Amino acid sequence: MTDKNNKKAIEVYLIGGFLGSGKTTFLRQLMLQLGDQKLGLLVNEFGSISIDAPLLLDDEVQMVEINDGSIFCACIAHGFAKTLKAFSELPIDVLLIESSGMADPSSMNKTLKDMAPYLDRPFDYRGLITLVDATNLLEYLEVLLPLQNQIAAADLILVNKVDLVDAETLAEIHEVIKEYQEEAPILDTSYGSISLAEFRSLLQNRGRSSPSYNTPENRPESWIVKVAEKQTAAGMEAFSKALAHDSWRIKGFVEQKDNTWLHVDSSSNHIVVKTFTEKLPDSFEHGRLVIIGEQQSKESFKEKIKVAWQKTAAGDIELSY
């Protein structure tokens, strides 16, 4: 596909899904399968620091991070537009965009249409891939508008973590999804695994667009936890469990007493704490965690985090947002 100046278009894929649905795992696998192409990567995180970026670092990939909100919210929309324009000037074949777990991507088609006159090379937008977490979709879907819109706007839906639910639950998930979305193909996956050939054959941009729900007024609460002392895996599991009912997402990295690192990845009651061997930024010091919860009193949420930490983990923490 070319424009009037015969400049080759850049394929664009948007990866969406609620907090903890497996977007980053899926993205890593997709990047490996696209290894023979020049890739651009835009990672959007709701918190003010990037946690997913260390999981996606690749010397061969042009990566940009946009943090502290949804790229579809007016509060950072200008930065998103500038970044898209910058990517259009790079020698890449494919641009992968991972939106934040609280993003409502309903306006993506309009955003790219509005940007078209300002791009150095045209974008060939292939569509939105929405991942849903089979372990908590039925719990969250009726009460979370961003999740509803992530499904309604999808061009391909991956029901992830199907190995953790029974057949009856999975059948109910499919029925509920179809109440919000009847056109997009639905594929069951574990660990976000899908072949590139199947992915491309199923994905087709349906061209739908509507205003995004994301506004500064409806931002959920989030806190950054700066860890002062080295921790244990058992302590991080206990901390995540203690906050399971008050948080949608806990993720980050903490240093252990043997100087190795732990990757903490918690959503609802699904808690994973495992060793992480890649290099982390010096700014992480002994560790950083991002904790996201439903809209509530910021001070109340802060106090819940402090109490849970005091009961389960070592040392002091510093909280910011």
Could you report the per-residue pLDDT of 268-308, keeping only the tens digit for each? 778 999 999 887 877 788 899 989 887 567 788 899 999 99
Fold classified for 220-320? Hypothetical Protein Yjia; Chain: A;domain 2 (3.30.1220)
The answer to whether residue 65 scores a pLDDT higher than 90 is no
Average the pLDDT over each of 22-31, 78-87, 164-173, 295-304 and give the range with the smallest value.
295-304
How high is the pLDDT of residue 70?
Answer: 65
pLDDT classification of 103: cutoffs 50, 70, 90 = confident
pLDDT classification of 1: cutoffs 50, 70, 90 = very low
DSSP code, position 22: S
Average the pLDDT over each of 99-113, 187-201, 292-306 and give the range with the smallest value.
292-306
Domain 10-202 sits in CATH at 3.40.50.300
Average the pLDDT over each of 13-17, 208-212, 273-277, 316-320 and give the range with the smallest value.
208-212
Range 75-104 burial, b when 16+ CB lie within 10 A, else e: ebbebbeebbeebbeeebebbbbbbbbbbb
Instruction: Please identify which residue in the block is written with the tokens 């990037």.
Output: 50
Closest CA to 209 of 72, 85, 101, 310: 72
Q: What percent of the chain has pLDDT over 70?
A: 87
Give mean pLDDT, residues 101-129. Answer: 91
The answer to whether residue 320 scores a pLDDT higher than 90 is no
Q: What percent of the chain has pLDDT over 90?
A: 56
* Angle subtended by helix axes 77-88 and 108-115, to nearest 10: 60
How high is the pLDDT of residue 53?
Answer: 63
How high is the pLDDT of residue 215?
Answer: 52
Range list of H helices, the chain: 23-33, 53-56, 77-88, 108-115, 137-140, 145-152, 167-180, 196-202, 233-242, 298-312
Give the pair of three-digit tokens for residue 11: 């394929």
Whether pTM > 0.85 for this model: the answer is no
Residue of 216 and 96 predicted with greater confidence: 96
Q: Are 130 and 17 in contact (CB under 8 A)?
A: yes
Q: Are 174 and 168 in contact (CB under 8 A)?
A: no
- How far apart are alpha carbons 235 and 47 in whole angstroms? 23
How high is the pLDDT of residue 248?
Answer: 85
Q: Where are the beta strands (DSSP E) in the chain?
A: 10-17, 39-45, 62-67, 94-98, 123-133, 156-160, 186-188, 221-227, 249-255, 261-267, 270-276, 287-293, 317-320
The answer to whether residue 75 scores a pLDDT higher than 80 is no
In the chain, what are the domain boundaries? 10-202, 220-320
How high is the pLDDT of residue 4?
Answer: 44
